[in-house]
Structure 1
Amino acid sequence: MTLRLTKISFFLGVTILLFSCNAVKRVDEDSYLLTENTIVVDSVEIKDTRVYSQLSQRPNSRVLGVPIGIFIYNLADPKPDSTFQKWLHRNPKREERLVRFLSAKQVEEIGNSYVGFNKWLEKSGDPPVVIEEAKIKKSVDRLKRYYASYGYFNTKADYSIIPNEKKEKRAAVTYFVDRQQPYFVDSITKKISSPIVDSLFKATRQNTFIVQGKQYSANDFVNERDRLTIQFRNSGLYYFDQDYVGFEADTVNTGHKANITYIIPDRKIDEGDSIRTEPFKVHTINEVRIVTDYTFANRNESITDTVSYNGYKLFSYDELKFRPKAITDAISITPNKIFKDIDRTLTYNQISDLRIFKYPNISYQEDPADTTGTGLIATILLTPQKKYTLGVDFDAYTSTIQQFGIGFSSTFLIRNIFRGAEILEISGRGSVGSSKDAADSDSRFFNISEVGGDAKLTFPRILFPLRTEKLIPKFMSPSTSISLGANAQSNIGLDRQTLNSVFSYRWKPSKVRTNKLDLVNVQYVRNLNTGNYFNVYRTSYERLNEIAQDIGYDFNNPSNDPMLEIPDETSQFINDVLFGDTAASEENFQEVLSIAERQFRLTENNLIFASNFTWTRDSRENIFDNNFSRLRWKLEAAGNLLAGISSLAGFEKNEDGNYKALGVVFSQYAKGEAEYIKHWELNDNNIFAIRAFGGIAIPYGNSNSIPFTRSYFAGGANDNRGWRAYDLGPGSSGSILDFNEANFKIALNAEYRFTILGDFKGAFFVDAGNIWNVFDNVEDEASTFNGIADLKEIAIASGIGIRYDFGFFVLRFDIGFKTHDPARPVGERWFKDYNLNNAVYNIGINYPF
């Protein structure tokens, strides 16, 4: 009751505070606070955000209907300096006493702090948007121009200011737009002076954005100007730019039709005080010069090393430190080819992808030795990054296994290690921690540790016995990576040791596309301390004890609350039940069998010999782009090569009918997954984001289950936020295990992100999904997916979040509530745990998707 009264008092206090604030406190008597804009087009109210974006004044943003920004702004003293001085001198002796008690400098600093705090409030808040007729008239003009850009040349517009009769100094503005009859494109003619331009224009005329009979749109003319400029500059016309493309639209007495004329004049050349013209010409790259070690400091030094390779000329102020082919493979500008503007862009991208040089400087000059005036010399200035880079990270954390842990990692990067623009990355990591669940609970405080390391070598080309240039040309920035890694845990869980090796290719067919092929992806997992299993997976251990007590098992240490000893007695009890030495009901037998199978699965050693292909399309241009989509799909197959070799070689199978490699039963499965992410930027920088994910891994041949490291889990800060990680599913089983995983997953997320105040952001989200077992050795009906009807077991969470944007990362705090819990009985799944006591609190870095 006390807690409930405290919550009620808190919410009442916040509500009274917000509503007691006067939003029009700093609005003049004869002015109005803008509360709403309405646009009526042809007698119909519209909600098109593109049209509303034309308005010069928009109401202050609100959170749950409350203009918090105005309230914070109004808290600030508009004249803090004079207010402080009045307070200081209101009592004749106040300043004297303060100076004597503190000092004159500290009193001055108090005044500066007061002023600074009020300035901060004003900067953090939002000044009230006061209606200004000048800005309204500007909005009217912009609305006319907007619709004129779509062919409504005779648009009429007006406005009305509507005061709020119930609340003082508040008003709404309604805009009335009458578009009239639109204009359509009719005849299309051209005036093109240069023969080569006219020829190129005719060659792609079918791709035009300006089509006879189509309603006039200014965007079509912008797109057509861009299309022609790109075409001409990629066809050798070095001096051409978009200012040369013009249009004339005749709409006088044409019956709402626009007669369009293309106007493209000859090239203009400045010669002193005069300008002459000449037809455009196709330019050719006569020479490509590459300076491999340019810096601003050595720009006036003498070149000491020069190399010619495949028509390229490479220069260096010191001895050339790169093999020529490593550089020229990243250069799309080709000697003796026509000028193409796209080659410069591709070269920028390819040089950046090398991660060897800083952003390059590329320029063109006319070749003075070319008497035709059509030859160009391309100069590329490359500034190498530091050859060696060392990075160190440090972290402190807690988890379900470790009560306290300290982690550290370091990466040593060596560029151009073999003079072919290769990159070698050597990384090491380690951690020490304290765990009460470790095998030796009486050991010292830091009783667990982990250490690991990786080495990755990246080549800026495809390493393959056959030539791949035609299939994967150099403009796709191909690369090959070879990595080796090892990791070892001491007194953590099962003391797992892991070895992994990957041989992969990566290339970018376009600006938004990336392909990655792991030709060989090998992982070996070895568990050294399998006897510690029930110390780690406590839920399974507790359930095992409950079954033993229920059937009256003869414990080694009988007491009022007997417990099975780990590991010998737990193993003995499982064997007694499964082999019939201890009587158990069918339900208890099946549950013990399930616990035993899971124990075997999580303690067995794994050998995964896989190949996979990942296809990604990401339209995001930079980190500030809030309108983008990302589609990724991945296919993986494991164990087929080893299975084929074992079969052909006639290797014998073990007693379970499985082949072994290196003494380990290797995994064999097929896995496929797909993910789609879409972001829409709405008004006031608000964002609506969605994510959809689906994945399935099917064991076959040498396996009847998926390795733990390749399975799926649900819940957590980046998944379904109403459940903790590994705490959701499978199906409607009720997360009865410590770590719940399965081989089939569906995840759906939607999130509305908005600005609360400055860098403080808020969010409302809904997460849905679950995991199931399918086509494997799990037979529990509640955990398996048997058809479309099981989609009713999808778990749904909803909640709110608050984030702070530091610029280079976002700190995120989300509260998730179980909205539909499939673990509950049918009919009791909706909103049964929708309260703070059962909420899940998630802390994360950056957005979940």
Structure 2
Amino acid sequence: MKKISAKISLIILIALFFYACDSVKRVPDGKNLLAKSDVIVDGKKVKNEDVTGLLSQKTNTRFLNLPFSLYVYNWAKPDHDSLFAEKFIKDSIRFQRTSKFLSSKQVYRLGESFWYSGIHSFLKSTGEAPVILDELKAKKSITKLKGYYFNEGYFNVDAKVAIDTISAKKASTTYTVTLGNPYILDSINRKISSPVLDSLYKRTENLSVIKTGQQYKSDNFEEERNRLTNNFRNNGVYNFQQNYINFDIDTIKTGNKANVNLIISDYSYRDGDTLVTTPFKVYKISEVNIYTDNPSSKSTVKIADSVVYNNYNLYSIDKLKYRPKAITDAVFISKGGTYADFRNNLTSRSLNNFRVFTYPSIQYEIDPRDSLASSLIANIYLSPRKKYSFSASLDAIHSNIQDFGLAGNASFSIRNIFNGAETLEIGGRGNIGSSQDLANPDNTFFNLSEYGADMRLNFPRLFFPVRTGRIIPKEMIPSTQISVGFAKQENIGLDKENFTGALTYNWTPKRYNSVRFDLLNIQYIKNINGNNYFNVYRSSYGALNNIAQNYTVNPSYLDLNGDLTIPNGANGFINDALFNEPGINPSQADFNAIRSINERRNRLTENNLIIASSYSFSKTTKTSLLDNNFYVFRIKGESAGNLLSLVADASKQPTGPNGNKTFFDIEFSQYLKGEFEYIKHFDLRNNMVFATRTFFGIAVPYGNSNSIPFSRSYFGGGSNDNRAWRPYGLGPGRSGARNDFNEANMKILVNAEFRFKMFGKLRGALFVDAGNIWNVLDNVEDEDFIFSGLESLRDIAVGSGFGIRYDFGFVVARFDFGFKTYNPAHEVGKRWFREYNFSNTVFNVGINYPF
């Protein structure tokens, strides 16, 4: 009770502190702080950011109805330079006394230090200066409000502002807007001078954004102007621009109706001193030139090598370094074709996907050989990147496993390695770290390490023995990646060796859709030090050792303290208990627990061979980094072991120790796996976003397996999951995370997060996370772990909390505090809010947003 009272008192004191802050501390005499600003439209207060954002002056940013940003600014001393000079420079006695410890030069530099100067600059840049009421800006806001509603069809709008004094040095502004009746579109007529444009307009007239009966809105006219421009330019009208489209709106004596006249004039250009007007026409492509070296002076360059391939002309200032087909397959501008903007964009995207060029430049010129001047020569200029590149990095890291670590990475790239715009990347990595949680018999500081190497070969096309153009055309910008890798862990866990290999295809069916198809994804995990299992998974050892204390155990299994030795004592006791050795007759509960421990040990220490195929599809409506109103949809299906099962049957491979099929004496995994994820962001305006995520995944073993490999299973908790639990610390089910690294083969997760701006670059968030993992359709028999139907949904764990984020512009540093709101590990009736306190808070650090 005392702790609760102390926390409440602290919160009250902090609140009183901020309320006691003098918000007008930096407001000059004779001026007023703009403390409140309202917009009233037709008698109703408007909070729509589209409207309030028009005001030339807005109040200081408020959080919890307090101007924190103003308080931060006020904490900074406005004249810190002069104060420092008065204190240390002009005071000769203090200057001499300080110079005894610091040199005179250092005393002067002290004024530039963070404590005397930097902290005040930081506070000013992080906070906000007081907004001083400016009547001229208030009048400017009236003009903006009138213009906004005029563009919404309210041609008789009226607006005024009232300025009131609230208290000393504080004032408010109230903008009152009277709209009147909106204007409605009535007749829509067109006057298009060029026959070509008139014909193109008629084809898509039904798609017009402007329709009779609509309320007049300027944005609709702008959208129609963009639609027509794109339509014309994508159908050969090369020199068409938006400024040729005009709308004449007639509202004279129409009774709040607007008659629209669409006017599209002919093409005009200046020939010397003469302005020439001529109808627009459709342009054809007469020639396509590709310059593979992008010479800086295109008019004087000497071409050393050239080739004509499939109606494309390729030029190089040196010997041509690229196979013509590799380049031309990425070009969608063709000789004899009609000019189209979308072909330029598609060509740029496809060539940029090569990763051997910088972004290409595409330019057009009128073909002088065409007497009708209706043909274009397309010139494509490519700027090659350096053939060889090298990069390296060294980082200090901290994670849930490593207390401290050093990680280094190095990569070497070779571009255009086979003259087909391929890229070969070779990388190496290493990591040494220290962990107090892992077994460390030698008591060394760096008690874990990992090193590895990877090689990736990228093809900017589908690398396949048969033609795939009809199924996956080149417009989908396909690519292929072949990768192999090796990694080894030493003095950490079971000292794993991990061999990987993959053949992956990627393509984009539509602009914001993407597909990934892993034809082969191979992983072989070899556990070098399986005998170290009980040193690593201490909870399993603790449970086994506690059971052993209740029975007469072979003395050779025990150490001087009477505990099971590792590994011989633990392994020996398991064998005696499971095979009914004399003297050991465990109860059914203990027998089940020992069997469960043994099954988990066997699964986590066995070598895994996984050969899988997978298909992933994702779609997003996010169009830019500033888009806060979008969704992301992703599905994935994976199948493993089917190919190996056929090979094992055909070659009559022997069975392994568990009775399963083998491949090169290794029992391989066989399963089906499916995942679904949906992310939705809602833009609430005023720098507020509501973000949600839903995830469901399940992996079902069958055939040659009765469980899922650890590397393909699911876990709960962590900074991007349920933030009230640590990684691997949640579930399965209501088991209460009995093991050290808890995982299962089914997962449900739902997240919701309300994000808002606090002040400056500081952001805040309130979140709720709900989810868990379960075992289903595998060899786990403990009911606490198993998903048995809809009743198991009551075991979904709920965490909630708040987060603070700092936006650096290029990256967001994230700090989240999660509280266990509903913990299914407790007995029914004691699950809600039993650990909802700061002593049980889980602190998460992350980079960027979790979803």
TM-score after normalising by structure 2: 0.93
Distance 2:559 2:699 in 1: 45
Match of 2:799 in 1: 797
Match of 1:420 in 2: 420
Distance 1:507 1:21 in 2: 58
- Per-residue deviation, 1:96: 8.4
User: Secondary structure of the residue that 2:213 maps to in structure 1?
Assistant: coil
Structure 1 letter corresponding to 2:842: V
Contact 1:555 1:563 in 2 (8 A): no
Match of 1:285 in 2: 285
Match of 1:746 in 2: 748
Match of 1:605 in 2: 607
**What does 1:363-374 correspond to in 2, within 5 Å?**
363-374=363-374
Contact 1:437 1:535 in 2 (8 A): no
CA change 1:66–1:355 in 2 (3 A) is same
Q: Deviations over 1:611-669 (max 9, x none)?
A: 11111123334445444432221111112223344456666656755322222222221
Match of 1:524 in 2: 524
**What does 1:686-765 correspond to in 2, within 5 Å?**
686-765=688-767
CA change 1:91–1:530 in 2 (3 A) is closer
Indicate the larger mover: 718-727 or 65-74: 65-74
User: Secondary structure of the residue that 1:771 maps to in structure 2?
Assistant: strand
Match of 1:771 in 2: 773
Q: Deviations over 1:223-262 (max 9, x none)?
A: 1111110010010001101111111121222222211111
- Per-residue deviation, 1:45: 3.2
Contact 1:161 1:171 in 2 (8 A): yes
Match of 1:828 in 2: 830
Match of 2:456 in 1: 456
Percent identical among aligned pairs is 48
Match of 1:260 in 2: 260
- Per-residue deviation, 1:173: 3.5
User: Secondary structure of the residue that 1:550 maps to in structure 2?
Assistant: coil
Structure 2 letter corresponding to 1:335: K
Distance 1:41 1:280 in 2: 46
Indicate the larger mover: 756-765 or 127-136: 756-765
User: Secondary structure of the residue that 2:784 maps to in structure 1?
Assistant: helix
Match of 1:817 in 2: 819
User: Secondary structure of the residue that 1:148 maps to in structure 2?
Assistant: helix
Q: Deviations over 1:375-403 (max 9, x none)?
A: 11111111111111112222344556655
Match of 1:395 in 2: 395
Distance 1:557 1:597 in 2: 20
Match of 2:337 in 1: 337
User: Secondary structure of the residue that 1:494 maps to in structure 2?
Assistant: coil
Distance 1:657 1:104 in 2: 83
Contact 1:555 1:564 in 2 (8 A): no
User: Secondary structure of the residue that 1:525 maps to in structure 2?
Assistant: strand
Q: Deviations over 1:159-190 (max 9, x none)?
A: 444544xx543344333333222222211110
CA change 1:129–1:774 in 2 (3 A) is same
Structure 1 letter corresponding to 2:587: S
User: Secondary structure of the residue that 1:823 maps to in structure 2?
Assistant: coil
Two-structure CA RMSD over aligned residues (Å):
2.9
* Correspondent of 1:843 among 842, 845, 849: 845
Distance 2:138 2:60 in 1: 16
Contact 1:448 1:490 in 2 (8 A): yes
Match of 2:465 in 1: 465
Indicate the larger mover: 77-86 or 64-73: 77-86
CA change 1:151–1:436 in 2 (3 A) is closer
Contact 1:401 1:536 in 2 (8 A): no
- Per-residue deviation, 1:77: 3.6
Structure 2 letter corresponding to 1:705: S
CA change 1:808–1:159 in 2 (3 A) is closer
Unaligned stretches of 5+ in structure 1?
A: none
Match of 1:53 in 2: 53
Unaligned stretches of 5+ in structure 2?
A: none
Distance 1:752 1:65 in 2: 17
Match of 2:146 in 1: 144
Contact 1:290 1:315 in 2 (8 A): yes
Indicate the larger mover: 340-349 or 15-24: 15-24
**What does 1:440-455 correspond to in 2, within 5 Å?**
441-442=441-442, 446=446, 448-455=448-455
CA change 1:55–1:448 in 2 (3 A) is closer
Match of 1:240 in 2: 240
Match of 1:204 in 2: 204
Structure 1 letter corresponding to 2:816: D
Indicate the larger mover: 458-467 or 127-136: 127-136
User: Secondary structure of the residue that 2:501 maps to in structure 1?
Assistant: strand
* Correspondent of 2:598 among 596, 599, 612: 596
Indicate the larger mover: 272-281 or 58-67: 58-67
CA change 1:291–1:445 in 2 (3 A) is same
Match of 1:780 in 2: 782
Contact 2:636 2:675 in 1 (8 A): yes
Match of 1:35 in 2: 35
CA change 1:706–1:59 in 2 (3 A) is same
**What does 1:540-559 correspond to in 2, within 5 Å?**
540-556=540-556
**What does 1:464-613 correspond to in 2, within 5 Å?**
464-556=464-556, 562-581=562-581, 582-613=584-615
CA change 1:144–1:399 in 2 (3 A) is closer
Structure 2 letter corresponding to 1:825: E
**What does 1:157-196 correspond to in 2, within 5 Å?**
157-164=159-166, 168-196=168-196
Indicate the larger mover: 389-398 or 353-362: 389-398
Indicate the larger mover: 837-846 or 556-565: 556-565
- Per-residue deviation, 1:49: 2.8
Distance 2:832 2:286 in 1: 73
Distance 1:634 1:181 in 2: 53
CA change 1:737–1:111 in 2 (3 A) is closer
- Per-residue deviation, 1:434: 4.9
Distance 2:524 2:118 in 1: 60
Match of 1:671 in 2: 673
User: Secondary structure of the residue that 1:237 maps to in structure 2?
Assistant: coil
CA change 1:163–1:448 in 2 (3 A) is same
CA change 1:681–1:818 in 2 (3 A) is same
Match of 2:634 in 1: 632
Pairing 1:73–2:77 present: no
Match of 2:269 in 1: 269
Distance 2:381 2:289 in 1: 9
Structure 1 letter corresponding to 2:484: L
Number of residue pairs matched by the alignment: 847
Indicate the larger mover: 33-42 or 659-668: 33-42
- Per-residue deviation, 1:516: 0.8
Contact 1:632 1:676 in 2 (8 A): yes
**What does 1:110-149 correspond to in 2, within 5 Å?**
118-149=120-151
CA change 1:677–1:347 in 2 (3 A) is same
Structure 1 letter corresponding to 2:197: V
Structure 2 letter corresponding to 1:366: I
Contact 1:817 1:840 in 2 (8 A): yes
Distance 1:257 1:298 in 2: 56
Distance 2:355 2:733 in 1: 46
Contact 1:494 1:528 in 2 (8 A): yes
CA change 1:803–1:514 in 2 (3 A) is same
Contact 1:489 1:495 in 2 (8 A): yes
Distance 1:444 1:105 in 2: 46
Indicate the larger mover: 477-486 or 296-305: 296-305
Indicate the larger mover: 147-156 or 590-599: 147-156
Distance 1:343 1:836 in 2: 58
- Per-residue deviation, 1:821: 1.2
User: Secondary structure of the residue that 2:509 maps to in structure 1?
Assistant: strand
